[in-house]
Amino acid sequence: MRICLVHSEPEKLPRIQLEHRSLTKAGYDAYILAPRLRSRFKPKILAALIRYSAFLLQAICQRTDVYLVSNCPDIWGFAPIVRHKRWVYDVRSPWAEELRAFGHSRLVVWVAEAIERYMTRHADVVLVVNKVLERRARGWGAKEVYVLPNYPPADFRPTVAPEEFKKQQGLSGKRIILFVGKLSVVECTLDLVHAATDLLKEQDGTVLVMVGDGPERPSIERYLEDKGIADRVKITGWVAYDLVPNWIAIADVCVLPRREDSPSAKFYSPHSVRKVGEYLALGKPVISTPVGEFAHSDLPITTASLSDFPAAIREVLRNPIHVYSASDFTWEKSEEVLLRACRDLETVWV
């Protein structure tokens, strides 16, 4: 069975890379489709329309038996529908709710949700990252739903000794608060910097390291300059996925800020936010806002409102928490579910 995995920026999505590795290892003829056209210009809407249309056409032209479509952006799901092919819809996040959190108009949110519902009903198989999204998919009329948690692989380990890596990065002797992810409104990165300002000013030797990039980076950098704490925050930009463990390994505490009143808050779970599994896999204490399933998780995660993050961070730095290695939360567990879904799909297909 030939499987085409589709995403607009596959190099930035570890999940699709792991899915490809698992499918290939299992003997499937799997490949990742990346867009050929990536040009950006103004007006942005026109540029996006051209990129989306080109990639949709590219997807439609594939000679494949099954499409595996990642949910962001969702419209790539139209390719298998147009071609009457079997396909898997891989849902990692609530697209419409995140657009609402970004402040988009009701019309945009309505269109996004209509697309999500349409894709969910038409997919032969829906993969979801947690139980909350599973309930939503079943409520929307999905044919088959499999829960495929967003865990890191068992070989997610640093490639450089932590002290040596700290030295390479000019962070020797520093206590490190670590954030990994997209610098965006959804990730509350600017809010995180606001909340940590006083803490960073008062605690010499403490540095906030933000591993990632995104639309909020210019605002964050302006704020840091205005407050005179640019030397207390290090923004790495996007880094290769195999380098992420090196950054986590040098952290004293890892943070996961999310807005509690966000429309998408109820959909978050320790089993769906990949960085949580990565933090725990390397034995790092985690502080998260009490959103969705985080509020009642039995995992070793400290929850605090964003305004209380500084106090929670101070406490962890003062009294380090021993975190067991979450060996049960690995991609290999999710891989079993993925391959079962493909076997079931193949059986029905034949």
The pLDDT tens digits for 2-39 are 999 999 888 888 899 999 999 999 999 999 998 888 77
What average pLDDT does this structure show over 306-321? 89
What average pLDDT does this structure show over 122-150? 94
Q: What is residue 289's predicted lDDT score, i.e. its pLDDT?
A: 93
Q: From CA 174, how far away is CA 85, in angstroms rounded?
A: 54
Q: What is residue 325's predicted lDDT score, i.e. its pLDDT?
A: 59
pLDDT at 48 > cutoff 90: no
Hey, which of 38-52, 72-86, 131-145 has the most confident mean pLDDT?
131-145
Q: What is residue 300's predicted lDDT score, i.e. its pLDDT?
A: 81
Residue 140 has a CB neighbour count (10 Å cut-off) of 16
pLDDT at 49 > cutoff 90: no
Sequence spans of domains, the chain: 2-150+331-349, 162-318
What average pLDDT does this structure show over 184-188? 88
pLDDT at 75 > cutoff 80: no
Residues 6+ apart with CB under 8 A from 300: 280, 285, 286, 321, 323, 324
Please, what is the average pLDDT of the chain? 90
Predicted TM-score (pTM) of this structure: 0.85
Q: What is residue 68's predicted lDDT score, i.e. its pLDDT?
A: 94
Q: What is residue 183's predicted lDDT score, i.e. its pLDDT?
A: 93
Confidence of residue 122 (pLDDT cuts 50, 70, 90): very high
Q: What is residue 257's predicted lDDT score, i.e. its pLDDT?
A: 93
Give yes or no on whether 2-150+331-349 and 162-318 have one common fold: yes
Instruction: Give yes or no for a contact between 109 and 63, defined as CB atoms under 8 angstroms apart.
Output: no
What average pLDDT does this structure show over 42-70? 88
* 3-state SS assignment for residue 246: helix
pLDDT at 287 > cutoff 70: yes
pLDDT at 348 > cutoff 70: no
pLDDT at 241 > cutoff 70: yes
Residue 4 has a CB neighbour count (10 Å cut-off) of 22
Which amino acid is it at 246?
N
Q: What percent of the chain has pLDDT over 90?
A: 59
Give me the helices (H) in the chain, please: 14-25, 44-60, 78-83, 95-101, 106-122, 131-139, 162-168, 189-202, 217-227, 244-249, 274-281, 309-318, 331-349
Instruction: Return the higher-pLDDT residue of 71 and 23.
Output: 23
Q: What is residue 236's predicted lDDT score, i.e. its pLDDT?
A: 96
Please give the C-alpha separations between residue 170 and each of 37, 115, 303, in angstroms, as whole numbers. 38, 47, 30
CATH code, residues 2-150+331-349: 3.40.50.2000
What's the CATH fold of domain 162-318? Rossmann fold (3.40.50)
Q: What is residue 207's predicted lDDT score, i.e. its pLDDT?
A: 95
pLDDT at 88 > cutoff 90: yes
For the chain, the first-to-last Cα distance in angstroms comes to 10
Q: What is residue 326's predicted lDDT score, i.e. its pLDDT?
A: 58
